[in-house]
């Protein structure tokens, strides 16, 4: 039974000519699934609709080949095949009574058109020149002339008509995050002296015209939404309003049918929980509802129904937007609707999902291993086929892999015993959630323990370190080893490989976790490159020691560029007074001095150091597994059919990898060994693929 406090979340909301059945709105977000994966994409979004999201949107969809974000995974709506490709999604979403939205997109001077090789377009010939190599390009943009502007308006209208044919109910104009219409809004990008530049009225003109042509094209049956970034604009003073953001929203107030409001850059828009709390957009977007009569949707990594209801009641939002919470739990709305709030698998704000987009692959999630696998592996987040081989399984190790495996096996009807050496479950999470900013990651453990408690056939044995003899003395058909991994003391060679170099006073994160006494000054040497090096440096610095951070990479916690954390990692280290030494290898260490060598030049530098903490290679705890294999001849008498490894005990990775590994084992353990790994998706090709309007681009006006 639904809690009446949350009734407000289930009210329908009129959006132009269409009506959302409730206030749960799965906003446009990158899924990594391009038009080459239309069935995966459709099932992924259809599952959100099935889970109760009243509106489900696409990610960014290019309206024209001059908006080519390759190698990042963007969708296209360029030809008839693309229409069919997207129609699979609208059908999947409509099948559950939800509305389908499409975020039409032009990347302007923020893309390099690496595949189409057309000149990028921008208001004044300026291009985004990123500091990170992953986003760098050498192709600068062309300043748009009047013909280019007319073309853009035509492309938007044509794409909107295609979107309508594909069955979409809400069609977007996207003026955010450095993309083309946004570039017209900001005076740094827009140096024009014609009617599209200068005053705020002029800078807003293109967005208004895009909205108008979209309305003319499809506004009779589809709602027209404006997605806009307001952070930079809100920071700018205005002569006519409280800020330029207020002025822009006032000028366009009732032109779109829906305002979808957000921040300007990925690290603030999709901010990690390590540095930013839930609801962080509110101070920037809170004014919009006071300026427009049209409904407003916004995000904030909302997972609590109370926080959602509060947003509505306080007049901040009309629709609760979600990207990450809808990935972590596609059934979040249904769970609230049926009074099962405690079953919500809350997003932990780790941003592994956004790293998938940066990697150019289908979306992955730490909390939800089924995301992106709905079609190709037939993994439904809430439905589990009963195992034909109702096995009796012993899982050794209660970290993320063991916990996820236990839960999924239980859902499949297996009898499960889960043994954990320590008094508390959680594995690596026990220590890592105590590190600065990582408390929210504890949801990985809490949710699984909460769910496991519902199953009578699950027995939990904390405080039980099992030996081979213990395991052979128990009666289980399947043994799953989930004993995790350990950090090594290996250093790093100029060939970029871990190397063993015996030295005294060298520690690992495991030593820190175990409470080892580590004397300062401390150097953290990080070639793992994810969060651990940076967060551990912060952690030991809080203990009062003098700490330096050294890495062979070009940035601190270099891989965290993928999870939107890197700017904040640098700021956090600076705040903690931790000096950085990048492009550096450890050449020699004899307390109290550490010798560094530059990765490229070999130039040496000396640092005061009594303790070196190496955050580098991890190796599996495979002793138990190896010992069991060495006694395979005894398995039959012990009733054991098979012994397998999962998670870090198999191949060390991020928590997301461990969860996925545990889940996959439990889904597949009873499959024929030669069963297909998964279905392979392919593009829809019903008519000869052709890109229209190509010839018109890049010619000078005089030639047309
Ligand atoms: P993963 O990320 O793969 O789940 P973790 O390192 O987080 O790996 O968790 C592994 C867990 O296994 C740890 O909590 C550890 O205490 C436990 N463990 C290791 N060896 C044994 C053992 N012999 N018996 C029971 N538990 C064990
Ligand atoms: Fe949330 Fe992390 Fe899953 Fe993304 S990957 S939805 S941030 S739990």
154-189 pLDDT per residue, tens: 999 999 999 999 999 999 999 999 999 999 999 999
Checking if the pLDDT of 552 tops 90, the result is yes
12-24 pLDDT per residue, tens: 999 999 999 999 9
Of 405, 476, 481, 484, best ligand 1 pocket probe by most atoms within 8 Å of the beta carbon: 484
Checking if the pLDDT of 702 tops 70, the result is no
What is the rounded distance in angstroms from the CA atom of residue 462 to the CA atom of residue 502?
35
- Spacing of C-alpha 94 from chain mean position: 25
Cα 368 to averaged position of ligand 2 atoms, centre (Å): 8
List Cβ neighbours of 365 (8 Å cut-off, separation of 6 or more): 327, 328, 352, 353, 371, 656
- Burial (Cβ within 10 Å: 0-12, 13-18, ≥19) of residue 253: middle
Q: What is the pLDDT of residue 6?
A: 98
**Averaged pLDDT for residues 446-472:** 98
Q: What is the pLDDT of residue 608?
A: 97
Mean pLDDT of the chain: 96
Of 48, 275, 324, 444, best ligand 2 pocket probe by most atoms within 8 Å of the beta carbon: 324
Q: What is the pLDDT of residue 131?
A: 86
pLDDT band of residue 501 (cuts 50, 70, 90) is confident
Specify whether the CB–CB gap between 296 and 288 falls below 8 A: yes
Checking if the pLDDT of 693 tops 70, the result is no
Q: What is the pLDDT of residue 463?
A: 98
In 3D space, the residue among 693, 525, 497 whose CA is nearest the CA of residue 609 turns out to be 525
What is the rounded distance in angstroms from the CA atom of residue 273 to the CA atom of residue 324?
11
Q: What is the pLDDT of residue 686?
A: 87
179 catalytic? Reply is yes
DSSP state letter for 637: T
**Averaged pLDDT for residues 460-470:** 98
Specify whether the CB–CB gap between 672 and 379 falls below 8 A: no
625-660 pLDDT per residue, tens: 999 999 999 999 999 999 999 999 999 999 999 999
Reading the block at residue 509, the tokens are: 């994160």
pLDDT band of residue 390 (cuts 50, 70, 90) is confident
Q: What is the pLDDT of residue 502?
A: 84
78-137 pLDDT per residue, tens: 999 999 999 999 999 999 999 999 999 999 999 999 999 999 999 999 999 998 888 888
Integer CA distances (angstroms), 326 to 44, 207, 357, in order: 11, 29, 16
Whose alpha carbon is nearest atom 22 of ligand 1?
Answer: 465
Checking if the pLDDT of 703 tops 50, the result is no
pLDDT band of residue 689 (cuts 50, 70, 90) is confident
Q: What is the pLDDT of residue 389?
A: 81
Reading the block at residue 75, the tokens are: 């969708």
Q: Which helix (H) or strand (E) holds 185?
A: helix 180-185
Cα 203 to averaged position of ligand 1 atoms, centre (Å): 58
25, 60, 172, 179: the catalytic one is 179
Cα 327 to averaged position of ligand 2 atoms, centre (Å): 7
CA dihedral sign, ordered 674, 678, 684, 688: negative
Q: At what angle do helices 400-411 and 443-452 cross, to 10 degrees?
A: 30
Checking if the pLDDT of 385 tops 90, the result is yes
How does 117-129 read in b/e, with b if 16+ C-beta sit within 10 Å?
A: ebbbbbbbbbbbe
Residues with CB under 6 A from ligand 1: 396-402, 419-422, 427-428, 465-466, 482-484, 621, 624, 647-649, 658
What is the rounded distance in angstroms from the CA atom of residue 451 to the CA atom of residue 454?
6
Q: What is the pLDDT of residue 234?
A: 97
Cα 99 to averaged position of ligand 2 atoms, centre (Å): 24
Highest mean pLDDT among 244-253, 389-398, 496-505, 673-682: 244-253
Integer CA distances (angstroms), 179 to 68, 122, 186, in order: 12, 9, 11
Q: Which atom of ligand 1 is nearest to the CA of 655?
A: 2
Q: What is the pLDDT of residue 692?
A: 65
36-83 pLDDT per residue, tens: 999 999 999 999 999 999 999 999 999 999 999 999 999 999 999 999
Q: What angle do CA 121, 124, 130 make, to 5 degrees?
A: 70
Of 394, 461, 483, best ligand 1 pocket probe by most atoms within 8 Å of the beta carbon: 483
Q: Which residue has the higher pLDDT, 687 or 149?
A: 149
Q: What is the pLDDT of residue 697?
A: 58
Q: What is the pLDDT of residue 704?
A: 42
Residues with CB under 6 A from ligand 2: 324, 327-328, 347-353, 365-367
Q: Which atom of ligand 2 is nearest to the CA of 349?
A: 7
pLDDT band of residue 700 (cuts 50, 70, 90) is low
pLDDT band of residue 701 (cuts 50, 70, 90) is very low
192-213 pLDDT per residue, tens: 999 999 999 999 999 999 999 9
Q: What is the pLDDT of residue 699?
A: 55
Q: Given the structure tokens 């063991």, which residue do they identify?
A: 402
């Amino acid at each position: 039974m639904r809690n009446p406090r949350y009734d407000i979340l289930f009210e329908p909301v009129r959006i132009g000519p269409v009506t959302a059945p409730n206030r749960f709105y799965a906003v446009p977000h990158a899924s990594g699934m391009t038009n080459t994966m239309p069935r995966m994409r459709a099932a992924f979004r259809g599952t959100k609709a099935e889970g109760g999201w009243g509106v489900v949107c696409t990610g960014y969809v290019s309206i024209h080949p001059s908006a080519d974000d390759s190698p990042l995974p963007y969708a296209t709506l360029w030809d008839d095949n693309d229409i069919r490709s997207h129609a699979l999604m609208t059908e999947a979403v409509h099948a559950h009574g939800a509305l389908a939205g499409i975020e039409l997109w032009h990347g302007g001077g923020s893309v390099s058109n690496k595949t189409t090789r057309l000149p990028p377009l921008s208001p004044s010939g300026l291009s985004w020149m990123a500091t990170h190599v992953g986003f760098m390009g050498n192709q600068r943009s062309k300043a748009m002339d009047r013909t280019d502007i007319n073309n853009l308006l035509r492309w938007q209208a044509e794409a909107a008509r295609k979107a309508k044919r594909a069955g979409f109910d809400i069609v977007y104009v996207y003026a955010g995050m450095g993309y083309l219409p946004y570039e017209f809004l900001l005076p740094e990008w827009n140096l024009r002296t014609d009617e599209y530049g200068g005053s705020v009225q002029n800078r807003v003109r293109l967005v208004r015209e895009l909205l108008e042509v979209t309305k003319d094209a499809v506004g009779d049956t589809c709602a027209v939404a404006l997605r806009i970034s307001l952070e930079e604009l809100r920071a700018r003073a205005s002569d006519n309003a409280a800020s330029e953001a207020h002025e822009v929203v006032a000028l366009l107030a009732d032109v779109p049918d829906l305002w979808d409001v957000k921040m300007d850059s990925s690290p603030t828009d999709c901010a990690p929980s390590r540095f930013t709390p839930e609801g962080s957009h509110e101070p920037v977007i809170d004014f919009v509802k006071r300026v427009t009569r049209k409904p407003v949707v916004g995000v904030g990594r909302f997972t609590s129904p109370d926080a959602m209801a509060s947003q509505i009641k306080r007049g901040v939002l009309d629709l609760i937007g979600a990207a990450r919470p809808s990935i972590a739990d596609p059934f979040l709305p249904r769970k609230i609707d049926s009074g099962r709030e405690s079953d919500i698998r809350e997003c932990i704000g780790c941003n592994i999902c956004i790293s998938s987009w940066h990697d150019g692959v289908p979306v992955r999630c730490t909390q939800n291993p089924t995301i992106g696998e709905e079609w190709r592996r037939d993994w439904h987040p809430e439905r589990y086929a009963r195992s034909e081989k109702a096995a009796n399984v012993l899982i050794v190790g209660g970290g993320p892999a063991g916990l996820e495996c236990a839960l999924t096996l239980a859902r499949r009807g297996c009898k499960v015993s889960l043994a954990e050496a320590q008094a508390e479950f959680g594995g690596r999470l026990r220590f890592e959630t105590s590190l600065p900013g990582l408390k929210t990651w504890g949801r990985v453990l809490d949710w699984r323990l909460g769910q496991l408690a519902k199953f009578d056939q699950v027995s939990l044995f904390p405080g039980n370190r099992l030996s081979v003899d213990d395991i052979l003395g128990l009666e289980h058909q399947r043994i799953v080893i989930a004993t995790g991994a350990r950090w090594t003391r290996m250093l790093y060679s100029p060939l970029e490989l871990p190397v063993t170099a015996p030295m005294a006073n060298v520690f690992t994160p495991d030593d820190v976790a175990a409470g080892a006494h580590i004397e300062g000054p401390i150097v953290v040497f990080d070639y793992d490159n994810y969060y651990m090096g940076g967060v551990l440096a912060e952690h030991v610095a809080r203990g009062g020691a003098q700490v330096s951070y050294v890495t062979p990479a070009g940035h601190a916690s270099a891989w965290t560029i993928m999870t939107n954390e890197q700017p904040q990692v640098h700021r956090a280290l600076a705040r903690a007074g931790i000096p950085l030494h990048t492009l550096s290898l450890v050449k020699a260490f004899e307390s109290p001095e550490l010798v560094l060598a530059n990765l490229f030049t070999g130039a040496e530098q000396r640092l005061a150091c009594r303790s070196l903490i190496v955050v580098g290679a991890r190796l599996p705890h495979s002793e138990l597994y190896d010992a069991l294999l060495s006694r395979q001849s005894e398995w039959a008498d012990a009733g054991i059919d098979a012994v397998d490894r999962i998670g870090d005990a198999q191949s060390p990775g991020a928590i997301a990898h461990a969860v996925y590994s545990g889940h996959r084992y439990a889904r597949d353990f009873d499959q024929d060994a030669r069963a297909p790994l998964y279905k392979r998706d392919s593009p829809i090709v019903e008519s000869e693929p052709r890109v229209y309007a190509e010839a018109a681009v890049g010619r000078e006006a005089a030639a047309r």
